[in-house]
Amino acid sequence: MTRRTPGNYHTPLSPAPRPDIAAPAGTDPTRCPLCGGDNRCALEIERATGQPQPPCWCVDTAFPPGLLDALPPEAQGVACVCADCVRAAAQRRP
């Protein structure tokens, strides 16, 4: 069963990102914490550019169970998983 979330790290298990709090040292909120690729987070793009963004790609994306639990603790609630990692995790499911 796939869990649908309103964002790739906005779940009851991890708090929504806080734009007023800086990311921990070594955690880049624009990079996927699993592969290091660009996560294309609309919240981060808006923060960086000051330009309003459409809803993030992750809003309507189903996340395989356990994927968010695989994030390093320091990245939880700070950096989004990228679409490529979400797809790869979904394909690995039996």
| C-alpha triplet 6, 7, 10: angle, nearest 5° | 90
Instruction: Write the DSSP string, 43-71.
Output: HHHHHHH----PPPGGGG-EE-TTTGGGS
Mean pLDDT for 66-89 is: 91
pLDDT in tens, 28-60: 999 999 999 999 999 999 999 999 999 998 888
Residue 6 predicted with pLDDT over 60: no
Domain that holds residue 52: 3-92
- The total domain count for the chain is 1
On the question of pLDDT at 22 being above 70, the answer is no
Backbone angles phi, psi at 62, to 5 degrees: -90, 130
pLDDT band for 92, please (50, 70, 90 cuts): confident
- In angstroms, the CA 37 to CA 53 distance is 20
